[in-house]
Structure 1
Amino acid sequence: MRHLENLILNTDSYKASHWLQYPPGVDRTFFYVESRGGQYERTLFFGLQAIIKQSLLTPVSHADVDEAREFFTAHGEPFNETGWRRIVDVHAGRLPLRIRAVPEGSVVPTHHALVTIESTDAQAYWLPSYIETLLLRLWYPVTVATISWHAKASILEHLRRTSDDPEGQIGFKLHDFGARGVSSNESAGLGGAAHLVNFLGTDTVAGVLTARAFYGEAMAGFSIPAAEHSTITSWGREREVDAYRNMLRQFAKPGTLVAVVSDSYDIYQAIDQHWGRTLREEVIASGATVVIRPDSGDPVDVVERCLHKLDAAFGSTLNGKGYKVLNHVRVIQGDGINPNSLRQILERVTKAGFATDNLAFGMGGGLLQQLNRDTQKFALKCSAARIDGRWIDVYKEPKTDPGKTSKRGRLTLVHAEEFDSWRTIAVPDEVDDLDAAPAPAGFRHALQTVYENGELLLDQPFTAIRERSARALR
């Protein structure tokens, strides 16, 4: 299975022929990554470091070149054997590239250069384009992090409106349920880690391990004991209350939380009869907080109705902002949750007089799978090439879709922190060091060189990434 780890084969088929398609005299190329718009006007940048560590730090070997040559010859594509042999012989298999990027955790408006890629060897001008397939998969963790961040903004808005302690609760208000709904464990890892930039709650083990492996965070997320339908229904319908009692006896201790799915049969009867009467005193005596989980029906209607029924059974207190906080119990809604339904639920329960304290959400497919590269219209494009010693602008400008017009020149991103203003600017031809390019008054360079000639130059800790993300919500 070694071929699955061969960097040269981590590309699209047609890329193998592109080294023959550039004009004579070209010796450098310059590419950039941007979100060209999409569902959200701002994106949270995350995941490049994981991709670099996973794919770009292992040197290419002559065995890799041999394997790639055999593959592409049989596959029907020409292969740049000379170019790849040079990378092995001259660069010890390390890619002669420079990658600059905005710090991970930054929240940047769309239509800006988030990453730039340039060749550093005159004979490897073709290389930035070759790794497009690999590098543009960055769209996935950025888009997951963006969805999660905007969900956090919605929840935090309602917490600040209805809760006495909004900042103390936000970390566990959106739980990642998405591992089983994605296409691969790698997706669960990258997407799960992207969510953990914003929240602390997850059931996606791969996300926690990805944050540990690539960002040095020993334990990025946490979970609690929780029932599933099989552990409840295996008791039989006539013993449903015994299944719930077992959850209390196994896990309900003072100060703990335990989540119990309660709609295997009838969520409203479960609350009215089992939780609200038969087990009420046991819940109170346990000292735990029992989190009731509905799992079907219209989530907006079901959540509100469950809150009213739990209020009738366990009572509530009014907080300092005049909203009800349930005693002893909470609700978590994980079925049918997406950014739209989440906002609708929050608005409904707020209107009904309940604090957001009473709710937590779980998001599965809506967080990790119901998205694609066009959700934020991600693209990696060439914007400049040096031909016969002179830089020229490279761009596309399709008449049939102005939204796909690409940027021109060697680009950098600048930021005015005082006004949170961002600009993507072209660097003058005579400036060789992009970090030394003149910036507009009040702006500072926002891109940092993270990878150069096979080495990771900047290793960003997860705590710093989380802080940048949180700062954008203050």
Structure 2
Amino acid sequence: MAAQDFNLLLATDSYKITHYKQYPPNVSKIYSYFECRRKKASQFSEVVFFGLQYLLKKYLIGQVVTEEKIQEAKLFYQMHFRQAVFDEESWRKILEKHDGRLPIRIKAVPEGRIIPRGNVLFTTMLVQMWYPITVATISREFKKILAKHLKATSGSLEGLDLKLHDFGYRGVSSQESAALGGAAHMVNFCSTDTVAGLLMAQRYYGCPMAGFSIPAAEHSDSYDIFNACKHIWGDKLKERVMERSQDSCLVIRPDSGDPAETLIEVIKILEECFGCSLNSMGYKVLPSYLRIIQGDGIDLCSVDEILQKLCDEGWSAENIFFGCGSALLQKLSRDTLNYGRVQTASDRPNQGLEAGSVIPEEKL
């Protein structure tokens, strides 16, 4: 939907249209804040704040209230509720007094900031911010796991920002989900195949190119990965593989079977065919022209398990990259980080109502 076609007056849960009738008399200020509630025994103790600038620029800047949109909303809610509940008068005041621009003030922590749970992230009612925040937070958890193993097995964090590739484009619910989630991943990494996220970063964050990819063949689970490693790349094409440089290395993608077991078998075959060396930490590293990417069955638990098993076998995390799709952009919800909003109403600037008058928005 183009921004000019978006009707902000319809962008809400139905029941909120009736709230203006439920506030105490003379209310002139509404104050809302958004947080990720604290939860005991959660794997996420912090969140990465991201996505606000996009939502503001796309949906809230400029004249967002027009006479046409007021009439559209009035008719819609009359049909929806089968009674007159729409506050036409107040919306027309915004149109006449503020030329259709929203008289709101939003305060927020800086985007990209890492915030302990239980703290206010921003003030106003943009509840759908939960999605990019959650993706950025999960992406950072991946980064912490990858950093731990890379540091332990190589003594360095070099190349960390390329270690997790976003494969989530095809698995999300919409182009906008791909854009928001894909850009959120770019807060932590610069490796992606989700073009929509890169375009969003260009348009709304002024980033010419936030992420990178490489030419690749379509993967298929039908061929024999062990045969391909041993007899095709490791024999028939061996000389051509060895001619490659570190900047154009062959990246092999095994996607079938148990990820850890398959990877260990693959890396042993490649060692037999191409050899390996020991790094400064005493862990084995394949030649620089050869690496592996695992893109099947990847989530926070499996990445940690895979890297630990490779470490136990004497292999450095330098040898492997990961691709993640649904676990990065789709297998999450607003409950993943226990998001919530609290709203207060007042007839005095910057003050809430008396005790007992706070309105919890648990349904949000």
Provide the TM-score with structure 1 as the length reference.
Answer: 0.71
- Between stretches 19-28 and 318-327, larger displacement belongs to 19-28
Q: Given that residues 39 and 375 in structure 1 are in contact (C-alpha distance below 8 angstroms), is that contact kept between their aligned partners in structure 2?
A: no
How far is 1:164 from its partner?
A: 4.5
Q: Could you list the per-position Cα deviations for residues 387-440 of structure 1 after superposition, in whole angstroms to 9, with x for gaps in the alignment?
A: 478642444689xxxxx7xxxxxxxxxxxxxxxxxxxxxxxxxxxxxxxxxxxx
Q: Which residue of 2 aligns with 1:153?
A: 144
1:309 aligns with 2:269: yes
Query: What is aligned with 1:62?
Result: 67
Q: Structure 1: which 5+ runs fail to align?
A: 118-131, 230-260, 399-403, 405-474
In the alignment, which residue of structure 1 is the partner of 2:217? 227
CA distance in 1: counterparts of 2:69 and 2:46, whole angstroms: 39
**SS of 2:280's equivalent?**
coil
The amino acid of 2:218's aligned partner reads E
Tell me, yes or no, if structure 1 residue 380 matches structure 2 residue 338: no
Matches within 5 A, 1:356-435: 356-382=317-343, 384-387=344-347, 391-392=352-353, 393=355, 394-395=357-358
Q: 1:55-454 residue pairs with structure 2 within 5 A?
A: 55-59=59-63, 60-76=65-81, 78-117=85-124, 132=125, 135-166=126-157, 168-229=158-219, 263-287=221-245, 288-327=248-287, 328-382=289-343, 384-387=344-347, 391-392=352-353, 393=355, 394-395=357-358
Any runs of at least 4 consecutive aligned residues in structure 1 with deviations exceeding 6 A, and if so which?
A: none
| Superposition deviation, residue 265 in structure 1 | 1.5
What TM-score results when the alignment is normalised by the length of structure 2? 0.91
Show structure 2 runs of 5+ residues with no match: none
Q: How many angstroms apart in 1 are the aligned matches of 2:5 and 2:332? A: 25
Q: How far apart in 2 are the matches of 1:111 and 1:163?
A: 36
Quote how far apart the aligned CAs of 1:39 are: 4.4
Paired residue type of 1:191: G
Q: For residues 162 and 33 of structure 1, do their structure 2 counterparts lie closer, same or farther at Cα, with a shift above 3 Å needed? A: same
Could you report, residue by residue, the CA deviation over 1:320-355 in whole angstroms, capped at 9, with x for unpaired residues?
A: 111111013111000110111111111111111111
Q: Aligned equivalents of 1:308 and 1:396: distance in 2?
A: 61
Q: Is the 2:29–2:346 Cα contact (8 Å) retained in structure 1? A: yes
Task: Give percent identity, aligned residues only.
Answer: 47
**3-state SS of 2:95 partner:** helix
Contact 2:29 2:348 in 1 (8 A): no
- In structure 2, the partner of 1:258 is none
Distance 2:145 2:352 in 1: 45
Once the two structures are TM-superposed, the CA of residue 29 in structure 1 deviates from its matched residue by 2.0
- Residues 175, 203 of structure 1: 8 Å contact kept: yes
SS of match in other structure, 2:188: coil
**How many positions carry a matched residue from both structures?**
349
Equivalents in 2 of 1:395, 1:295: separation in Å? 52
Q: Distance in 2 between matches of 1:300 and 1:142?
A: 30
Find the aligned partners of 1:17 and 1:342 in 2 and give their Cα distance: 47
1:144-198 CA-partner distances (Å, limit 9, x unpaired): 00000010011011111112441x3011100000000000000000000000010
Q: Report the alpha carbon displacement of residue 273 of structure 1 after superposing the two structures with TM.
A: 1.2
Please list the CA deviations of residues 103-162 of structure 1 after superposition, one character each: whole Å capped at 9, or x if unmatched: 011111111111123xxxxxxxxxxxxxx3xx1110000000000001001101111111
Contact 1:177–1:362 (CA under 8 A) maintained in structure 2: yes
The Cα RMSD (Å) is: 1.9
Q: Secondary structure at the match of 1:101?
A: coil
| In structure 2, C-alpha distance between the alignment counterparts of 1:395 and 1:74, rounded to whole Å | 31
Question: Structure 1 counterpart of 2:224, which letter?
Answer: D
Match of 1:52 in 2: 56
